[in-house]
């Protein structure tokens, strides 16, 4: 589990980003959330916990999947995220959806409380192995479902990490993987080539060691489209990647952003749009029925 320092930093990063989170015009968390819910096969009438619900990219597709006869609880460490998600749920008239401020690493619910536990682009942030996944299995009823999505750590044909556009990989990866003084953010980036998400086999083995069965893992490309390299850079400041920029000196951040934008602008197609294939990993498994 994350220590108090890492939890505090995650809280700060996402509380600060909440107002602009998934609001930049770049389609990313929404399509991933919808695909994760489709992949999970959550059904009508089920009780579901959404871990790290953010502003609702998974929460609202799950609410649609379970329908009014079901129940969806979204939890997030960030009060601001919960505020926005709760407001939107009320505006949509979703009486079967509730949101709570809660540490997703340690959900405060009884054993066997839910039919499904799901986490869109959240669980991977603080998970280093099977020990951190066991709490979610314990929350599930026999045969209950666990499903989550994450950026792909599977190596590309050139040995690079596919979540970053290849043309700026060398610029950004060092800032995401090299710990700086006082770094306490409990995330797998600093161990990028040796973590539980690095291969399909590693994912399935980790889920099995956490007590899950019938694991399925798929990697799929999401096509991110932006109008300019600058828009992509601005988008990275609206979610967890803002940590990269926040930790740089102002001039260094400006120079890095300018070079990243320049390289991405060179990828503009004939239609004036920059298209960036971004691999996403989706995984699901079940608690034992016995």
The predicted structure's pLDDT at residue 290: 79
Of 52-56, 177-181, 213-217, which gets the smallest average pLDDT?
177-181
The predicted structure's pLDDT at residue 210: 97
Residues 208-228, mean pLDDT to the nearest whole number: 97
- Top-ranked range on mean pLDDT: pick from 14-18, 60-64, 193-197: 60-64
- Identify the bridge partners of residue 117 per DSSP, sorted by sequence position: 49, 146
Q: Are 98 and 74 in contact (CB under 8 A)?
A: yes
- Top-ranked range on mean pLDDT: pick from 67-81, 122-136, 242-256: 67-81
Q: Are 130 and 209 in contact (CB under 8 A)?
A: yes
The predicted structure's pLDDT at residue 24: 87
Helix (H, G, I), strand (E, B) or coil at 212: strand
Residues 260-265, mean pLDDT to the nearest whole number: 98
Q: Tell me how far the alpha carbon of residue 8 is from its chain's centroid.
A: 18
Domain 4-164+183-224+277-287 carries which CATH code?
A: 3.40.50.150
Does residue 153 carry a pLDDT above 70? Answer: yes
The band of 5, judged by pLDDT with boundaries at 50, 70 and 90, is very low
Of 45-54, 106-115, 119-128, which gets the smallest average pLDDT?
119-128
What angle do helix axes 4-17 and 79-91 make, rounded to 10 degrees? 40
- Identify the bridge partners of residue 145 per DSSP, sorted by sequence position: 116, 286
Q: Which residue has the higher pLDDT, 164 or 64?
A: 64
CB within 8 Å of 209: residues ≥ 6 apart: 129, 130
């Amino acid at each position: 589990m994350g220590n108090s320092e890492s939890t505090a930093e995650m809280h700060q990063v996402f509380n600060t980003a909440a107002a602009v989170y998934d609001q930049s015009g770049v389609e990313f968390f929404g399509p991933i959330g919808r695909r994760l819910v489709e992949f999970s096969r959550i059904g009508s009438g089920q009780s579901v916990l959404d871990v790290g619900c953010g502003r609702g990219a998974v929460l609202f597709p799950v609410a649609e999947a379970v329908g009014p006869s079901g129940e969806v609880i979204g939890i997030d460490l960030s009060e601001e995220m919960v505020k926005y998600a709760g407001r939107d749920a009320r505006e949509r008239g979703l009486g079967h959806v509730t949101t709570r401020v809660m540490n997703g690493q340690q959900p405060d619910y009884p054993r066997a409380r839910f039919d499904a536990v799901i986490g869109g682009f959240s669980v991977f942030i603080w998970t280093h192995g099977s020990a951190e996944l066991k709490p979610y299995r314990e929350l599930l009823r026999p045969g209950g479902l666990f499903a989550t999505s994450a950026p792909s750590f599977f190596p590309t044909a050139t040995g690079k990490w596919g979540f970053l556009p290849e043309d700026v990989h060398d610029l950004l990866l060092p800032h995401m993987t090299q710990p700086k003084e006082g770094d306490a953010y409990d995330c797998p980036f600093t161990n990028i080539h040796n973590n539980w998400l690095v291969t399909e086999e590693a994912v399935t083995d980790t889920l099995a060691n956490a007590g899950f069965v019938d694991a399925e893992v798929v990697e799929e490309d999401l096509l991110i489209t932006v109008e300019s390299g600058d828009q992509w850079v601005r988008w990275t400041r609206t979610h967890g990647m803002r940590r990269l920029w926040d930790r740089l000196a102002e001039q260094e951040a400006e120079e890095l952003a300018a070079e990243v934008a320049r390289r991405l602008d060179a990828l503009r197609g004939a239609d004036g749009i920059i298209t960036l294939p971004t691999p996403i990993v989706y995984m699901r498994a079940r608690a034992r029925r016995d």
